[in-house]
Amino acid sequence: MIERELYMRQIRPFMGQPVVKVITGIRRCGKSVVLQLVADELLRRGVERESIVYMNFESFEWMDLSDARTLYAHVKGVVDGRPGKPCILLDEVQEVEGWERAVNSFIVDWGADVYVTGSNSRMLSSELATYLAGRYVSIHVMPLSFGEYLLFRGVGGKDAATLRSEFRKYLRLGGFPAVHTARYDEATAYKLVYDIYSSVILRDTVQRHGIRNVELLERVVKFVFDNIGNRLNAKNIADYFKSQHRRVDPNTVYNYLEALQGAYVVQRVQRYDIKGKELLQTNEKYFVSDLSLIYAVMGCRDRFIAGALENVVYWEMRRRGYDVYIGRLESSEVDFVGIRREAKLYVQVTYRMEAAGTVEREFGPLLAIDDQHPKFVVSMDDAWQDNVDGVRHRHIAEFLTDETW
């Protein structure tokens, strides 16, 4: 079990405090491991083992605790008479109807230290805000970053050749921890990932949102997967289906996209006017939570490479705390604008820099930005290494493991 320090750093300031730590993310991304890391740290801090209540609601053991009332009654029976403040850890708590009310009572009645995980962003809905207003923090756990993948695989050497070789493997296998628990070949790895995908589609989209037309939902998923890195919205997806002689209401597509976001399958990224410093409401892009989902559903295709690299860079920027947007600068586009408090970061992503036209296309928009914030062009070139007037070029493997940006 690797120490997922990125998330523990976010959780530690709130340990022992009367706020609910809400740990969310797509199924099988490692939320349960983070919860176990929390339990281990509580023990190291001197919390008595008897004070820690842990329940995983995907286990048959807790199937009778299906609503807030029965959950509260059970926990009360466990903690009554035990010394010290209870620490309550609830895994996949969205399986309990009205869980927010029980958790609110844990804090009000006992001042409990509460941690919950769930696989749907509806956990952060208006109900949660109503019952826990001002008393919760959200931590989004993602599949393994490239840096975590290196730790998981026990890769010690971090010379350029090793990093680049390992990145090519990471790019194909993705970051779901289950894929890296053994030396699976690609076919076996994608079988594991497809099972994750099926579970997410069935339980966190179809069942949770009452979707009846599962076949249409999966067509929408495949269209989005096939267009990673391209501009998309509900209307042009509906227009595509219309061109295939299938009428689909754009509102239906929009609702499906929202459901997929809620299950952390995809993430919509808005466009940002760099000069006007405002968000734009059209031509967003969608990125998938882990590239292996695309390969498991669609197969590996060389034409995915540009969007795949953008996908990896987008999530790395998110992991590092940036709000990430697609940048517009008059008639040109910057792949990513990252904003983190007062800091900004601009990143262009491309596969190769071999042609002169590619160099101009990737460096030009960054050179036109009139500020002093860091600017990078990221690619998979092994030989091309030039920087241009302060805009730095980095191989993507080195960019992802560079802690200085």
Rounded CA-CA distance 238/241 in Å is 5
Task: Give me the pLDDT at residue 131, please.
Answer: 77
Residue of 77, 54, 51, 74 whose CA lies nearest to 64:
74
Per-residue three-class SS string for 177-206: HHHHCCCCCHHHHHHHHHHHHHHHHHHHHH
Q: Is this prediction's pTM over 0.75?
A: yes
Q: How far is CA 26 from CA 13, 123, 147, in A?
A: 24, 12, 19
Query: pLDDT tens across 16-66, in order?
Result: 999 999 999 999 999 999 999 999 999 999 999 999 999 999 999 999 999
User: In which band, very low, low, confident or very high, does the pLDDT at 358 lie, cut at 50, 70 and 90?
Assistant: confident
Q: How far is CA 198 from CA 91, 190, 206, in A?
A: 20, 12, 10
Query: pLDDT tens across 86-110, in order?
Result: 999 999 999 999 999 999 999 999 9
Query: pLDDT tens across 296-353, in order?
Result: 999 998 888 999 999 999 999 999 999 999 999 988 999 999 999 999 999 999 999 8
For residues 199-209, average pLDDT: 93
Q: Is it the case that residue 283 has pLDDT exceeding 90?
A: no
Helix, strand, coil distribution of the chain in percent, nearest 5: 50, 20, 30
Amino acid making up residue 174: G
